[in-house]
Amino acid sequence: MFISSVLVLALTTLTLAAPPNKRAAAFVNPTLAGGSMLDDASGGSSTSDLGEPLNVIISGLSSAAVLTDNGFLNFARAIGFSTECLGQHIGGPQTANLGDGNGYVNQTVELRQDYGDVILGTCLESLIGGNHLRVYRQNGPKANTGALFLAVSKEENVIEGHTISPDGYNIGRDLLVQNATNTNPLPSFGGVTYSAALQQLTDLLPAGANGVNHNIATDGVTSLLTVTIV
């Protein structure tokens, strides 16, 4: 009886001491398994191999809630983005292959700069231009990291047909990172506050305009953000 009680106590202690489940990797380089760090701007509708750079990654080691659809939307709103004007989207979705075994998949969502108004601010962005992003999730059987790959770019106004601004990929990325890593105050929305750690990666995207949509060169930097709910 005494031995049984000791064994039960020991097993209970081991169970309580076990670490919580946690993803093991920030992300996996898509190019290692046939993927690309450029999305497909044609959405698979043509033979064009031009795409937009996946220039920001939300690490799979971020707080789990941030990596969900609703959780990322809340974080995005905290850093100045929201859903499209009145829920309307012009143009087809772009696709990406993140080397996770899922092949090319449609963007999860497209968000636009909201100019401080999460309800109607993106209507202003649709008129005058601003920052916007597309989201792809790495969750296939070959690389189930949960990381979110973002194609971020600053675009022109409606008269210019929403084309990407000169140097718009670098500018869009840097504006997002600036807002995400702000510490005074920390980004916050809906009662949730975030802190983001930044790592700049230079070995994922080649610098230049080769294969890049609109022939706009990039500096080859990918910003890795580990976002934590505080």
Whether residue 12 lies inside any domain: the answer is: no
CB 26 within 8 A of CB 192: no
What rounded mean pLDDT belongs to the chain?
88
Whether residue 189 lies inside any domain: the answer is: yes
Whether residue 9 lies inside any domain: the answer is: no
| pLDDT > 70? residue 88 | no
Whether residue 5 lies inside any domain: the answer is: no
Structure tokens at 155: 């675009």
Whether residue 3 lies inside any domain: the answer is: no
Write out pLDDT tens, residues 191-229: 999 999 999 999 999 999 999 999 999 999 999 999 999
64: how many CB neighbours lie within 10 A of its CB? 15
pLDDT, residue 48, reads: 63
CB 102 within 8 A of CB 139: yes
Quick one: how far is CA 87 from the chain centroid?
20
| Burial track 121-139 (b if 16+ CB lie within 10 A, e otherwise) | bbbbbbeebbbbbbbbbbb
Mean pLDDT along residues 19-24: 52
Whether residue 105 lies inside any domain: the answer is: yes
Structure tokens at 150: 């973002």
Mean pLDDT along residues 149-157: 96
Structure pTM?
0.88
Can you give the residue range of the structural domain that contains 32?
24-229
Whether residue 14 lies inside any domain: the answer is: no
| pLDDT > 90? residue 22 | no
Total count of domains within the chain? 1
